Structures are given as structure tokens and as C-alpha cells.
Structure 1
């Protein structure tokens, strides 16, 4: 007896049709037809014949939604592919469309179920994927292999930096994370090799590896730009490196890639060495601290060409969904256009300034959702290559993974894009996930849900944090793909390990609850030999926008953020916090010199009025330095190099952004700039530091 799977096709929201998008909320993928994004459902099963798979609609209800004025031709409602050999496993792709056209009338599925039956299989499944229905029980894992696990393809003039990266993965990282890595020169594949020549070579390597029934090869890096390693274009439209490893030789533009691939679109050896050394330092000598757990969420506002558009709320809605899924696991830092004042010239200078300072202080990941192009995020230029590249310079190797859920930010062919500039900048990005062309709403939304682990059954960042997977960045990007998501690329090393900690419940051995205002409090932790960071915040705040139809959440006030190498960590809650029940939270982060990070979250901590007297009439001692040298009257300040501000006050530093409190600064006659409390790091219970840009 086979396996049966049932899925509802009843949408939560009414289906919509417009000139750009047919939207159906019960779907999990989308296809593009004549530049129209059409929502569909996609799955895959391990099966060696179409006859072993049955797909039926059960009690379907079709309703008229529009006329087919554009004479559009839709695929069949149910489409079952022939089996293809995907990583050594016979695999069949199933596509179901909730749309059909009858007598020039467009009808949509508004109710019903999909029933999928698969006969029992008598062969092992050599891979896992969130949308593989019958893989778990039969999945076969290779425990150890002497075969190539990571293939790097590079032109001869980039051989030295490519070989250095290969050597790192083969022998320089911890033995638990080593990969048998092989460098192959493009010139040894074919003279003047085309993309198809390179594909044929890679597919032959996969087939040879599969002769023993298992595929050891996991990662592919194309170490060169579009001239040295020509991309394969989807019918001349857009490039995708997925097409180097799709399984169906009869249609290379269908199905998913078999390898977790990445590209370093570099053209010269100097840039290549800059990036390789950056990757090696990030991997072999990681910088310790809670920055490795922080995620910045950036969302476009609701303006198009300086005009308000109520239909532009999805950027905030989708970002807020990511926030809600992660905020009890990691410290999340939202930068939403709707949360900032729009200045003259349709710009958000406050958002841009806050974001760049946050990037320079260090975050593990930056995710953007909204409009964009190869050089900017949003029409309001939330961030711009020409204006902001020189201002982005995170210190101490605190480099972020950038994810751009926008159009064409990863367009490297024929462009000198912002993505490339950040990648090749010594203090830019460690890796980028971006699209090579225009991307549709559903593609972008579903892909990011899969990547962050919001979709049912997905293997994303949320599951990584909970210890359910140990995916590397290229695998994370590949696992998030379901159908026509070929435009999403990993730029950088696909075998880069994710910086995030794992969730733990055993870091804290004792924490105060309730907490008294102003008075010194103590949190006790296990493993004092590790580096710890305590982050104490107020509860989240929900805000309406416009006519209250849009709500979004931002974190509560930061009360304290403290670095420590002790078993006892002290902190204070400022008096402005006020007393409240179940209103404070703690994130406690620990790592071992940047390795093996863990994080614990505690909620519902009450705050009490202090019974102690408070007499705080003196301000803090303030010291300013730049690059380790004190700044005093008459000192020269070097442009482009951050200032370090040290504050020391026996009563603690009030970080709340209330009138008369918080940290503000100005140069000359400029307006005061408020620094978020999240940027200030205590080193003792009374002293800490913050960076400000010059």
C-alpha cells in the first residue's frame, strides 16, 4: 500500500487577478507566463514511473473570476513530469494550477482538496527537500567519503586565490566541517568553454559520482565573472547558475539544481584575493559577540515615485511576519520605511543613518523586502551604492550576509552592481543572496518564507536555530527553492557556515524576576569561560499605519546590553522604564571565541519600583577616541573613520529614547542625532562604548 497526501486548495484570502499577477493564497509557488506571475502548487515525489503517482482534485469548486482578454494559454490543471534522476534518486515533479480557462472564461479554485498517492518505493532516497513528500523514511546518508564534496571551477588567472579557498575547506577548518574540495580550471574543461560545455562537464561528474548509488558532491562554486564562466540564460531571458546542475537534460530549465551552487563574479586577482582572505578570516578567526545573532529587517515604504500607494503594504507585512517568527529566538532589528518620517525629496535619511550605523556595529544578516535595482534599495534610496558604499565599514570582521528580496540586485552580467561592490570590499558583505532579474511578488514572498523557515515543512533559518538542520548558506538557498525560483543566487562561498547560534535553555542559571528599577541586578550563567552578552529589553510594541489597516511590530526599549566573561553579569533598568507586570525580556548569548554560539530567551519579567533612594545629579564621564587615540581639544578628526564614545556613570547609562535621556550627538551646527540604545554596549555595570560615524 502506498502513501497518501492531502492538501487544501481553499484560499484564506479571495483570489485576485491583475495585469501582473494572479494571486492565490493556498499556493506554494509561481510560474511566469508572458511576463505574468501565476500562482501554482508544486511538490515532488521519489518515484520511478508516472504510473506510480496519482493526483486528483477532490470536491473542487471552480468560480468565474475574469475574462481571458489576453488569450493567455495556461498549463494543464494537473501536470505530472516524467521521472528524472535527481542526485541519484528517480524524482517526479507535480504541478497543480488553481486556474483554468473554459470558453474564454478564467475560473479559479475556491474550495477543495488535492489528493496525491504514491506507490511504495524499493530504492533509497539520496536527498532531502522540504517539498519532497516521501523522502524521510527512505533517505540514505553517506557518513564519510573520500570523493569530491565541493567543486570549484575557475579560470587559470584566478587559480591561486581559488586554490587557497579550496585548501581552507579541505584541511584548515575544524575536522567536523572539512570538505574534500577540488579545483578545476575552465581551460581544462574546453577551449573557450561555453556555459553548456561547463554544464556537460558538471553533469558528467555527477553521473560518475553516482555509479556507487550515492552522490558525495554537494557544493559548486563558479569562481569568475560572466566572461570567464559564461552563465546559462533561460531562453535568452535571465541567467541562472541553477541550470548548470538541473537534472533533466531534455529540459535544463525545469526542476531544481542538484548542487548548492554559488558564484564569485570576480574578474581580477586582486578582488579575488580580497574576498578569499575575507572568507578565511570570517571562517577561521570568527569575531565573538551577540552581533552573530542579530538580524536587521529592512522594508520599503508605501510610496511609489513619491506617491502614496495603499497596495505597497506587502513589504512591511512580509517583514513583520519574519519578525514575529524569530523575535523569541534572536534579537531582531527592524528598519521599516513606514516607521520613519519621509523627508523632502522622497528620502529616509534617518532610516539610512540608523541602518548604516547598525551594519557597522555588526549584524549577522540583513534582509530587505521591497523595490530595487542593481544599485539601490527602494525608489526612496533607503540605501544606494553611489552615496553609501564608502560609509559601510563594519569593524572587527563583523560582516553580514545580505539578502535582497528585490528585483535585479544580483544582476552581475554587464553591470558593476552594488552587490559586487559590497562583496569585493574588504569591510563590505561576507555573502549575498540576490536575484539576477526582475522577480514577482509570490516568488519573492514564498522564497523568503521558505528561507527563513516560515512555510510548513521548510528547512530554513528558524529550523537551523532550533538544531533541526546544519545547512550552510548555499544549501539554505537551494532548499528554499520550489519551482521557478532560478533567479535567486548565492554570491560568495556556498559552503560558508551560517553565523547563527543554536537555541539553548541552559545558559542562565539564575535571573532576577521581578527586577527593581535603578538597582544593580545580577544574572548568573553557566560556562563563564565563554564570552557572554546580556540583552535586556522591554516588550514589543505594535503600531498602526495610515488607516489602521496595517500593523507592524518593533522591539521594546533596550534597557541594557552587557558583554562579560564572568559567571555573574550585572545590569540596571533605567527609572524611565517604569513598573509593569510581565513586560521585560532577556536574550543571553554565549560563544567560544566566535564558535559554537548559543542563545537563550526569557520573557514575562516584571519590573518593580525601586525601594532605594536615587540621587543622580551628575552626568557621565565622556571620553572620545578615534582609532585608539584620544580626541581632545585641537585634535584632528579623520573623515570616514568612526569615533568611539566611552561613557562612565556609577548610576548607569539611561538608554531609553525619552526627552532628556538617550545618547545624542551632533557635529558643528547639525541637528542632534539619536543613537539607538541597542548600539551601546556595557563593558562593566557603569561603563560602556558606542561608535558614531564621521
Structure 2
């Protein structure tokens, strides 16, 4: 057997370093925490340094920092599920400001594949958890150098597809060899996640060799106990967490096989521990007073504040707060796969996933107010919901929560509402015109408005916020991707990343329901370019014919890139009469930034007639270039 561990460098006492593998009565203890950045080239080093710098950029602030994803393998008498549930119970009891997303393999259906069982739904949920953002992702179960679980619920191709540059997660894998960095023939899964330049992980606590469930359980538990506990008013650095975790997890030799792939001097993206976001009051505003009970179709107003530990309002805090109101917990029954010895693996798992309302409110002088209408589609039995809060002034961010918010019942004597919401659809940005061009990855934007707000609870079958691509029978559920606009519950947006779109024409349909269960549907046509190279479509000028001025317009498949645009205008005999240029910074999908007044280079009016123009577009990102030609008519 061999080991690859940095622990040796942390044993600084003269008597330490022998590493006895059998006698743990007087174990060596780490004096410092050590991390490794597993780079082989200057480019990889630059990638990691840039990720570490970007991780602390205020541009990455968001309520994803309030989320933790817990992933568990199936089988083994539900051992791995029970380990994940232990961590979930610990966080719920001690750190309720964090919202837990449970992705247990046995909660999702499996399919037979060429190499064994697979679970597409589990893969999809993990991808969504990564791309929506999670401060920390924890896995318990079986694994290898390149995959997690026999069902391959995380693979290297999957890691390569993650788009979470502004929401980098820290990953803990209590499994075998996923962080084996000393194999020169290939990158491990952990290395791939860390080295991915536009997403993946900011760091990992992973393993370099086989480990065993008993030792994993102890180390995983101790990590969670240490990672979220402030010390002298500050949150701990990764190196200190690693040192204390290892020193308190000395039950067996597999301790040394855990390693920190990341910067030991960094802190996770914790909120400021000296401040909290408070809910000061919850009031109903319907004809039947609701007190602080959130009843279906009641209008609720939440007031709150940013406070110091001594409950003093921080009057210098000005920014925004994101408010997420969660429904009561529900129970998910697992499938019970891999039952053994006549014992059932079926378990009940408590989850809190249904969102009553999510939106943003302005914070002024430390105070905020937000209103919303509770959807008709709540579970009507009374029970405890939760309000999760995240505030930022673009310098610091603050966490808060309110538990035991009573949700249930129905408000009486509400005014009827039979008007459905309105939905406007775009790809990538709001300049997109139906039928325009995209790449194989595109962001669906849905702008939705309604007088009484949008239903995102997802409780009633058929009342979900959904998107359907082409004639697919599998809808995309967008409930958890909708956020109300700043200081308004009556409008909001969905941003959803579409991946691996096939070249050619497509149609996507989005259906939305308001809080009164009125629905509407809208569709958007788009074309995926047959190549990732720069492509143009729908080139025209308007008005055409022109008398005084015309604007040149086209669609392209490189939104967000800086583009150089040149338009040369010729007579029908081929004489160049005018050249127009423009640099479109972070260009939108639909370009309409160049106009012409019908004059030549000397600002002299041209003779009426037919002219030819050639549009040349060049990407500053990769030098890709394309030309297209059209005609225009000049009248006087």
C-alpha cells in the first residue's frame, strides 16, 4: 500500500513523523493546516489564482451562500443516507440559517445502463444544485478517482459542463480516491473540479486513497462541527478547520488519506457573523386579519432589520435583502434500492423545497419592508414554515432566518382575480428577437408579471412554472428559478441555462400560474447555429427604403462577447462610398447600434438608387469573423 498525504509537513514536534499505523494511543497531531493546489503548468496556476481572487469579489454575492447540498449514495443498509441525515439534523439544530438541499440517490428513479444502474434525475439535481449555487456540497458513499457512486452520479464530463463561475462551491467527499492527485496519467474528479476555469469547485476536502465508512463518518462530523463555528468573532480559515478536524478524527489510519485541495488561508464565503437579518413583524393585509399566519390568498407584509449582536439596528447599512419563504416540510419516500438480507431500505426523508415567495427588497438605514400574496396552492394544514434572508450592501453580506412561521388555511372575502399573468421570453438578453440565433448553450429569460404575483409552490400537480422544449414530454420545472423584482411581488424573472441544444430550429413554451391559479403560456422560436463559430442571421436595415436615416440590425450567436462591426456600403458598380464601424462591448443577441444618414465619406448626400452593403463582424474573444451582404434603397 502507498499513501499520499501532506500531514507529514504539519507534524512540527521533534518526536513526530513516524506515523504508526497500528497504535493510536499517542498519535501525531498537526500543528498547522496544509493545502495543495495540484497544478502542473503556469496556466493551471493562473486559473486557480484567478478563481481564488474572484471567489471574494462582491460580484459573486448572493443567497446561494445560504445553501448546503447533501448528497448520499444508496445501499449498504442506508448507511450513507443516515450519515447525510445526521449532518442535516446537526445543521438544522445548530445553524438554521442554512437551507439544505438533499440529493439522496435513493430518492430518485434509476435506469439500467450498459455498465450498470444509472440515475439521470440524480445527475440533473446535482447539476442544478451546483449551478444555482451552494456554499458547500457534501457527499457520503462509494467513489473512485473519477466518479461518485456506482451509478456515476458525478463524472468528469459532468464536471466539465458545470457553469457556476460566480457560485463556486466547496466540496467534501467522504469517499475513496476522488482526490488522488499523484496519478500522472490523468486528473482525478477533484482535480478537474478545482482546475475548471469557469466553474466547478473553489476547494475540496477529498481523499487520495481508499478510506472506510467508520473513519469517514467521524471526520465528516468533526468537519461540520468546526466549519461553521466563529472563533473570536471571525469565521475559521480552511487550514485551521483541516488541522482541528484531523486532530479530532484519529480513529484509524485513513485519516491521513484526506487532503485539502485548495488554499488553506482562505475562508469559505460565509456571511458576516457579527450581524444578522431579523424579521421584526409579519402582518396580514386582507379583509380577514391573519396575524402572523400565512394563509392562502392573503397579502402579507414582512418588516425587518439588519442588527448587531446586541440587537441594535445598523443604520449605516443600505443595500438589498433577498427573502425566501419556504412552505412546511414534506416527506419523500425513498425507492429502497439495493435491499439486502430481507431488510427494507425504504426510508422517509424530510425535505423543505417548496417556495411560497422569493423576492428582493431595498434596505434603507438598516430597515426593509416586503409584501407578497400567498399562493392558493399551499398545503392547507397549519404548520411551521421558514423565512430565509440574505442581505448585502456590496461590501459585506448578512444571513438571517425566521423559523416556526405558521403557514396554512385560507383568507376569506378576497377580491376575485380572473386575469392571467403575462410572460415575455428571450434568449440570453432582452434584445433577443423570436427566431434569432443562439449557441448550443443559452440562457432562457422569462419576464413574468401579474397583479397578485406568481405561484411557485409546486405543490399542486399541473400548476408548476414550466418550460417545454420542442415536443418533449419532459417539462423543465422553473419554480425555484423565479425571483420577484426589487420591491415588487407583481413582476419577476426566470433565468434558466439550457445546455446541449441541437443545431437547428427550436421552440420553447413557458407556462406560468398566478397566485389565484390563472395560467398563461407563451412561446419563443430560436435557431441554434450549426457551428460554435460566429454566425449571423436576420440581417436587415430599417427603414428600407431610407430617406433620412436607417439602422442596420442583425442577430448573432455570441451574446456577451465584445464584437467589432464594420459595414461597407457600395454602389451597384462596386465603388465604396461609406464605411461605418462600431465596437459592441458585451454585445447583446440583437445588434442595432449602427445607423447611416445616406451620405458619403465627405458628408455629401448620395444619389438615390440601389446600394449594396457588406457587414463584417469579428469577435475579440477568439478572432472568429463572418461577412454577410444585403441591399438597400436610398430615396430623396
Shorter-chain TM-score above 0.5: yes
**Relative to structure 1, is the Cα distance of residues 353 and 598 closer, same or farther in structure 2, using a 3 angstrom cutoff?**
same
- What is residue 496 of structure 1 aligned with on the other side? 266
Q: Write the distance in 2 (CA, Å) between the matches of 1:594 and 1:321.
A: 35
Q: Write the distance in 1 (CA, Å) between the matches of 2:383 and 2:34.
A: 46
Q: Write the distance in 2 (CA, Å) between the matches of 1:358 and 1:679.
A: 11
Q: Write the distance in 2 (CA, Å) between the matches of 1:612 and 1:467.
A: 53
Q: Write the distance in 2 (CA, Å) between the matches of 1:614 and 1:451.
A: 53
- What is residue 209 of structure 2 aligned with on the other side? 437
Could you say what secondary structure the match of 2:60 adopts? coil
Alignment of 1:676-691 (within 5 A): 677-683=479-485, 684-691=488-495
Match of 2:465 among 644, 663, 666: 663
Alignment of 1:172-187 (within 5 A): none
Does the CA-based 8 Å contact 1:357-1:692 persist in structure 2? no
- What is residue 496 of structure 2 aligned with on the other side? 692
Deviations 1:110-134 (A, max 9, x none): xxxxxxxxxxxxxxxxxxxxxxxxx
Q: Write the distance in 2 (CA, Å) between the matches of 1:366 and 1:603.
A: 26
- What is residue 302 of structure 2 aligned with on the other side? 523
- What is residue 208 of structure 1 aligned with on the other side? none
- Number of residue-to-residue matches in the alignment: 442
Match of 1:649 among 441, 450, 458: 450
C-alpha displacement of 1:676: 5.8
Does the CA-based 8 Å contact 1:581-1:604 persist in structure 2? no
Could you say what secondary structure the match of 1:525 adopts? strand
Q: Write the distance in 2 (CA, Å) between the matches of 1:688 and 1:634.
A: 24
Which structure shows the higher helix fraction?
1
Does the CA-based 8 Å contact 1:509-1:524 persist in structure 2? yes
C-alpha displacement of 1:248: 4.9
Could you say what secondary structure the match of 1:413 adopts? coil
C-alpha displacement of 1:499: 1.5
Could you say what secondary structure the match of 1:335 adopts? strand
- Match status 1:675 vs 2:443: no
Match of 1:565 among 341, 345, 362: 362
C-alpha displacement of 1:508: 2.0
C-alpha displacement of 1:616: 4.2
Larger radius of gyration: 2
Alignment of 1:562-641 (within 5 A): 562-566=359-363, 567-593=368-394, 595-613=396-414, 615-641=416-442
Could you say what secondary structure the match of 1:542 adopts? strand
C-alpha displacement of 1:556: 4.6
Could you say what secondary structure the match of 2:80 adopts? helix
Q: Write the distance in 2 (CA, Å) between the matches of 1:550 and 1:281.
A: 41
Alignment of 1:297-336 (within 5 A): 297-302=70-75, 311-327=76-92, 328-336=96-104
Q: Write the distance in 2 (CA, Å) between the matches of 1:318 and 1:685.
A: 39
C-alpha displacement of 1:505: 6.2
- What is residue 589 of structure 2 aligned with on the other side? none
Q: Over the residues paired in the alignment, what is the CA RMSD in angstroms?
A: 2.4
Deviations 1:242-271 (A, max 9, x none): 111213555512512211111001011111
- What is residue 141 of structure 2 aligned with on the other side? 370
- Match status 1:537 vs 2:326: yes
TM-score by length of 1: 0.60
Deviations 1:285-317 (A, max 9, x none): 352221111111111122xxxxxxxx2411111
Does the CA-based 8 Å contact 1:664-1:672 persist in structure 2? no
Could you say what secondary structure the match of 2:436 adopts? coil
- What is residue 53 of structure 1 aligned with on the other side? none
**Relative to structure 1, is the Cα distance of residues 505 and 469 closer, same or farther in structure 2, using a 3 angstrom cutoff?**
closer
Does the CA-based 8 Å contact 1:404-1:435 persist in structure 2? yes
- What is residue 45 of structure 2 aligned with on the other side? 272
- Match status 1:339 vs 2:339: no
Q: Write the distance in 1 (CA, Å) between the matches of 2:205 and 2:227.
A: 14
C-alpha displacement of 1:409: 0.9
C-alpha displacement of 1:467: 7.9
- Match status 1:480 vs 2:245: yes
Does the CA-based 8 Å contact 2:170-2:203 persist in structure 1? yes
**Relative to structure 1, is the Cα distance of residues 272 and 535 closer, same or farther in structure 2, using a 3 angstrom cutoff?**
same
**Relative to structure 1, is the Cα distance of residues 326 and 674 closer, same or farther in structure 2, using a 3 angstrom cutoff?**
farther
Q: Write the distance in 1 (CA, Å) between the matches of 2:161 and 2:493.
A: 20
Q: Write the distance in 2 (CA, Å) between the matches of 1:640 and 1:348.
A: 23
Does the CA-based 8 Å contact 2:384-2:403 persist in structure 1? no
**Relative to structure 1, is the Cα distance of residues 676 and 594 closer, same or farther in structure 2, using a 3 angstrom cutoff?**
farther
Could you say what secondary structure the match of 1:650 adopts? coil
Deviations 1:525-566 (A, max 9, x none): 224613211111122223444447633221152111212224
- Match status 1:407 vs 2:157: no
Q: Which runs of 5+ in 1 are unaligned?
A: 1-235, 303-310, 454-458
- Match status 1:381 vs 2:152: yes
**Relative to structure 1, is the Cα distance of residues 373 and 517 closer, same or farther in structure 2, using a 3 angstrom cutoff?**
same
Match of 1:351 among 122, 126, 151: 122
Does the CA-based 8 Å contact 1:467-1:503 persist in structure 2? no
Deviations 1:73-131 (A, max 9, x none): xxxxxxxxxxxxxxxxxxxxxxxxxxxxxxxxxxxxxxxxxxxxxxxxxxxxxxxxxxx
Q: Write the distance in 2 (CA, Å) between the matches of 1:506 and 1:391.
A: 35
Alignment of 1:75-154 (within 5 A): none
Does the CA-based 8 Å contact 2:97-2:399 persist in structure 1? no
C-alpha displacement of 1:675: 2.4
**Relative to structure 1, is the Cα distance of residues 322 and 537 closer, same or farther in structure 2, using a 3 angstrom cutoff?**
same
- What is residue 285 of structure 1 aligned with on the other side? 58
**Relative to structure 1, is the Cα distance of residues 676 and 630 closer, same or farther in structure 2, using a 3 angstrom cutoff?**
same
C-alpha displacement of 1:524: 0.9
**Relative to structure 1, is the Cα distance of residues 300 and 272 closer, same or farther in structure 2, using a 3 angstrom cutoff?**
same
Q: Write the distance in 2 (CA, Å) between the matches of 1:314 and 1:350.
A: 21
- What is residue 190 of structure 2 aligned with on the other side? 419
Q: Write the distance in 1 (CA, Å) between the matches of 2:464 and 2:274.
A: 31
Q: Which runs of 5+ in 2 are unaligned?
A: 20-26, 284-291, 307-316, 337-343, 499-636
**Relative to structure 1, is the Cα distance of residues 630 and 317 closer, same or farther in structure 2, using a 3 angstrom cutoff?**
farther
